[in-house]
């Protein structure tokens, strides 16, 4: 299968390219230097010349606070850029995978009284974004679904990957430096390992079962729980983390409170992801940072 990956220089794009190549696909990797997705004519020409079987559209502006400062640019890149890729793919008969976000939801899910069950969003629950980034990704979803009938909408959350800096790296670097850590307890989602997401997407494009998918590591947690687990497993169990609320950590963008996602559609086609705890341990082991439990 010939697969085009946009945003191939990004963390997820690099992971997807490697995974798909390993799986034996012919992959064309496009980054911002080779394709400006906001330019419809260029996108149409590039994808038209390549004639792929599938376009995986991972190109995006993922600076959530930056999107809050410039919401029009957010929609241009994340919304209309996705439309350009979807239309260009449709013209050559290619399917498209659009990488979306948990932040298309408002996060107003609440704990079911006396049940201990943390509610999660299912694939066809109604999106209601509350910030510019979430809105731009929702526009992208709508644009893709209206432009190419052979589409997979893949929502994910809280990606962590090797190389560069992510939430786990930030926490570990601060702990190593002896800095005081303060992490919010009222922002909940699914930490997701990019290697697991790439494997899931590689499996999904083989199914031709188009629709909306929540491809996240299983179970949701708060930012504080995510940080605590990563530090504990990396040997920093004695490092304290202050519990704070989102109000105590002001930022340009307002993150939704509870956007845990359920992977119902993926499971229906045989695609499941391990727990976020197991994924964190796999990530730390790959980085050489996992502290093994004593026998």
**pLDDT above 70: residue 284:** yes
In the chain, % of residues over pLDDT 70: 96
pLDDT (tens digit, 9 = 90+) per residue, 240-254?
999 999 999 889 999
Task: Give the pLDDT of residue 117.
Answer: 64
Nearest to 59 by CA among 26, 88, 21, 92: 88
pLDDT of residue 109: 81
pLDDT at residue number 113? 58
In this prediction, residue 58 has a pLDDT band, given cuts at 50, 70 and 90, of very high
Per-position b or e across 189-212, b if 16+ CB within 10 A of its CB: bbbbbbbbbbbbbbbbbeeeebeb
Position 146 in a domain: yes
Span 192-230, pLDDT tens digits: 999 999 999 999 999 999 999 999 999 999 999 999 999
Contact 12, 5 (CB under 8 A): no
Q: What is the CATH number of the domain that holds 201?
A: 3.40.50.720
**pLDDT at residue 179 tops 50:** yes
Active site residue 98: no
Is 282 contained in some domain?
no
**Number of domains, the chain:** 1
Asked whether 55 and 47 are in contact (CB, 8 A), the reply is: yes
Whether 155 maps to a domain, the answer reads yes
Catalytic one among 98, 121, 133, 213? 133
Q: What is the pLDDT of residue 112?
A: 60
Percent of the chain with pLDDT over 90: 93
Does residue 151 register a pLDDT over 80?
yes
Q: Report pLDDT for 295.
A: 47
Across the beta sheet with 2-6, the strand order is: 26-30, 2-6, 54-57, 95-101, 151-156, 211-214
pTM over 0.85: yes
**Which residues form the domain of 123?**
2-165+192-219+260-276
Q: Is the pLDDT of residue 287 over 70?
A: yes
The 10s digit of each residue's pLDDT in 77-134 is: 999 999 999 999 999 999 999 999 999 999 998 666 555 566 899 999 999 999 999 9
64 in a structural domain: yes
Q: What's residue 72's pLDDT?
A: 98
Helix/strand/coil percentages in the chain, nearest 5: 40, 20, 40
């Amino acid at each position: 299968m010939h697969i085009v990956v946009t945003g191939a220089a990004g963390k997820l794009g690099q992971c997807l390219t490697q995974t798909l190549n390993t799986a034996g696909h012919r992959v064309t990797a496009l980054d911002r230097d080779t394709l400006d997705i906001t330019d419809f004519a260029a996108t149409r020409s590039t994808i038209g010349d390549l004639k792929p079987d599938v376009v995986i559209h991972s190109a995006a502006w993922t600076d959530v606070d930056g999107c809050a400062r410039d919401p029009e640019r957010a929609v241009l890149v994340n919304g209309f850029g996705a439309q350009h890729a979807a239309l260009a793919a449709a013209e050559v008969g290619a399917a498209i995978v659009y990488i979306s976000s948990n932040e298309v939801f408002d996060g107003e899910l609440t704990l079911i009284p006396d049940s201990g069950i943390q509610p999660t969003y299912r694939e066809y629950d109604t999106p209601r974004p509350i910030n510019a980034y979430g809105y731009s990704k929702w526009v992208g979803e709508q644009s893709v679904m209206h432009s190419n009938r052979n589409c997979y909408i893949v929502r994910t959350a809280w990606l962590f990957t090797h190389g560069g800096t992510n939430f786990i790296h930030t926490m570990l670097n601060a702990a190593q430096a002896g800095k005081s850590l303060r992490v919010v307890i009222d922002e909940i989602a699914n930490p997701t390992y990019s290697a697991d997401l790439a494997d899931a997407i590689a499996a999904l494009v083989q199914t031709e079962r188009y629709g909306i998918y929540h491809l996240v590591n299983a179970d949701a947690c708060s930012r504080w729980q995510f940080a605590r687990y990563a530090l504990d497993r990396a040997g920093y169990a004695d490092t304290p983390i202050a519990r704070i609320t989102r109000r105590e950590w002001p930022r340009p963008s307002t993150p939704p409170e509870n956007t845990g996602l359920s992977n119902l559609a993926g499971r229906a086609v045989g695609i499941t992801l391990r727990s976020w705890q197991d994924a964190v341990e796999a990530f730390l082991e790959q980085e050489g940072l996992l502290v093994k439990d004593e026998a």
